[in-house]
């Protein structure tokens, strides 16, 4: 996967920079996601790996994508195809999404709790985390009764373990040391 990421990074950066310049971040994200879905379709993937000529592959790919890709999007996909990089489209979309989240100052936060959080609790938590991370927070709430009580929060590389299960595990480890 890291090889695909390395290959995809300049394409994602170029697409993102172009989207920012033209005020079309959402549109480009949708176009790239659609092109990725087309490229990952089993029938299309088999066709793209066939012995057909590059021009024929590009023509069929563009016909399938149809109006979902504007002229600039088609040119972008055509360049990727000419360079043999269509397999990296999924990595391009993932990197584009990261660039978009960073640009929009947004961070996805996974919150695991023993019981379902109320809307008010989610709003309060989001507000607190927005202050801590200085970004807009998008909560992904998960319920896991195994944590007993409290919250387990993961945002990127940051982990906040305020669960009873975590405290018990740390206490057991300290007692064994």
Distance CA 39, CA 16 (A): 20
Secondary structure (H, E, C), 45-56: HHHHCCCCCHHH
Give percent of the chain above pLDDT 90: 35
Using alpha carbons, list the distances in angstroms from residue 128 to 26, 67, 69, 122, 123. 27, 42, 39, 10, 9
Predicted local distance difference test score (pLDDT) of residue 106: 82
Question: Which tens digits make up the pLDDT trace of 70-111?
Answer: 889 999 989 988 888 888 898 999 999 989 888 888 888 999
- In this structure, how many other beta carbons lie within 10 angstroms of the beta carbon of residue 33? 16
Each residue of 44-75: pLDDT tens digit? 888 888 877 888 888 888 888 888 888 899 99
> For the chain, which domains are there?
2-102 (1.10.520.20), 106-176 (3.40.30)
pLDDT for 168 equals 87
Its pTM stands at 0.64
Q: Assess whether pLDDT exceeds 90 at residue 2.
A: no
Residue of 54, 46, 39 whose CA lies nearest to 84: 54
pLDDT at 1 over 80: no
Average pLDDT over every residue of 109-120: 92
For residues 100, 104, 105, 107, the Cα torsion angle rounded to the nearest 10 degrees is: -50
Using an 8 Å Cβ cutoff, are 89 and 80 in contact?
yes
3-state secondary structure of 133: helix
């Amino acid at each position: 996967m890291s090889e695909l990421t390395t290959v995809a990074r300049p394409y994602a950066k170029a697409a993102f920079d172009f989207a920012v310049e033209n005020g079309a971040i959402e549109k480009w994200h949708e176009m790239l996601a659609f092109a990725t879905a087309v490229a990952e379709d089993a029938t299309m993937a088999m066709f793209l790996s066939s012995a057909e000529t590059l021009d024929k592959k590009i023509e069929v790919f563009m016909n399938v994508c149809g109006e979902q890709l504007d002229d600039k999007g088609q040119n972008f996909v055509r360049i990727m195809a000419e360079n043999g990089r269509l397999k990296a489209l999924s990595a391009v979309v993932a990197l584009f999404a990261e660039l978009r989240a960073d640009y929009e100052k947004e961070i996805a936060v996974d919150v695991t709790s023993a019981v379902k959080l109320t809307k008010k609790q989610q709003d309060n938590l989001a507000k607190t985390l927005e202050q801590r991370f200085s970004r807009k927070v998008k909560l992904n709430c998960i319920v896991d009764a195994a944590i007993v009580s409290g919250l387990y929060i993961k945002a990127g590389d940051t982990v906040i373990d305020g669960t009873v299960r975590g405290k018990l595990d740390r206490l057991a480890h300290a007692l064994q040391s």
